[in-house]
Structure 1
């Protein structure tokens, strides 16, 4: 098994791997970071990659994801690589396990299933699930809207009717998710005003 690394060491390894893959010099990465709003110089990159820089803050991690065009979490939990990460003091994880924990996909072993911690975990994960449902519902509405526009463009009345039927079916699912989010006192992502108006017009949402 590979020797365990701290989170910063894993990020440094990921940075060096990507920088090399992209054919970037240390100066090029520093320039990209600075242009994105985090002032780095060549020595910061060199010190990080050679273990002489002990931390990477959250803002830096996010901007690294931005300049490399990758999810920031993939720098900390590089799934598919054999890194062993000391995610917590004395607690090592494989990248996949760390990804599952950080994204709420799997309850960590230190939280007992019948504990208060488990209930808090499930409550937080429940919120994540609602927003995953939002993403699916939003995608369905967008696809249905596209089908309606295509059917209208070719002037096929039957196809247009079928497409609009699928659109309102997708809108109904989206409206249910929107209602669930608001009932929990949460803020939904941005969406076109017309969706809410149409959902109210056909009785899928109550009055604002």
Structure 2
């Protein structure tokens, strides 16, 4: 059956669903052979992971005879094959062009993957809290790095052999301590915003345990208690 909206010079264009399954099947087969495994080897490893996928099911998938492709199978196959699920769905470098939705034109697989993961924004699409969690991760990294630099500078000041070295180390310690506090302030505001959305903020490492205020201090301003 030829779909509307795809390359007109193709006499028999696969349905979108068939194309997605073919992408996954082809990449599973390629990675399986790359790892030197038989279909039975792959089935055994899926079972070891806790989600059995029989050898005949894998063989039917790779040959295109399998009618369905459950998401849970894709997740387990990716883990066993030591890759990411999105790399099975959009095999960049091995499938040049693919189809994102039914009746759409073929697009570069790399572009489809980036839209699928949210790395490339799509007009009017809601990214949910992904940008907030990315910002949170960056702030945590910044705060931890600043704390580490401040501690190293504190040690340098303590062990300095002269006043000049001590003053320089103290300047560095103050600089990085201020950077850490600034990152913590931003984290505190961001985590409050995430909670206001009814969501749970990401995990905080112990070194940043003072970012969240105790419940008894919810009226305290974000600049306090850091």
Q: TM-score, normalised by structure 1?
A: 0.76
Q: What are structure 2's unaligned runs of at least 5 residues?
A: 1-6, 160-168
Question: In the aligned structure 2, how far is the partner of 1:150 from the partner of 1:67?
Answer: 42
2:59 paired with 1:46: yes
Q: Which is richer in helix?
A: 1
Q: Choose 191-200 or 20-29, whichever is displaced more.
A: 191-200
Matching residue of 1:195: 208
Question: Partner of 1:128 in structure 2?
Answer: 130
Which of 16, 19, 37 pairs up with 2:29?
16
Match of 2:222 in 1: 204
Q: Is the 8 A contact 1:130 1:177 kept in 2?
A: yes
Q: Structure 2 CA distance, aligned partners of 1:88 and 1:24?
A: 32
- Equivalent position of 1:110 in the other structure: none
CA distance 1:10–1:172, change in 2 (3 Å): same
**Of the candidates 71, 75, 78, which is equivalent to residue 58 of structure 1?**
71
Tell me which of 173, 176, 185 is aligned to 2:198.
Answer: 185
Separation of aligned partners in 1, 2:56 and 2:154: 59
Question: Unmatched 5+ residue regions in structure 1?
Answer: 108-112
1:170 maps to which of 176, 183, 201: 183
1:102 maps to: 116
- Deviation of the 1:15 alpha carbon: 0.8
TM-aligned CA distance change 1:206 to 1:126, over 3 Å? farther
Cα RMSD over matched residues?
A: 3.1
**1:75 aligned to 2:106?**
no
Corresponding pairs, count: 194
**Does the CA-based 8 Å contact 1:141-1:174 persist in structure 2?**
no
Under a length normalisation based on structure 2, what TM-score does the superposition of the two structures give?
A: 0.71
> Is this contact kept in 1: 2:75–2:85, CA < 8 A?
yes
From the superposition, tell whether residues 199 and 128 of structure 1 become closer, same or farther in structure 2 (CA, over 3 Å): closer
Conserved? CA contact 1:172–1:199, under 8 Å: no
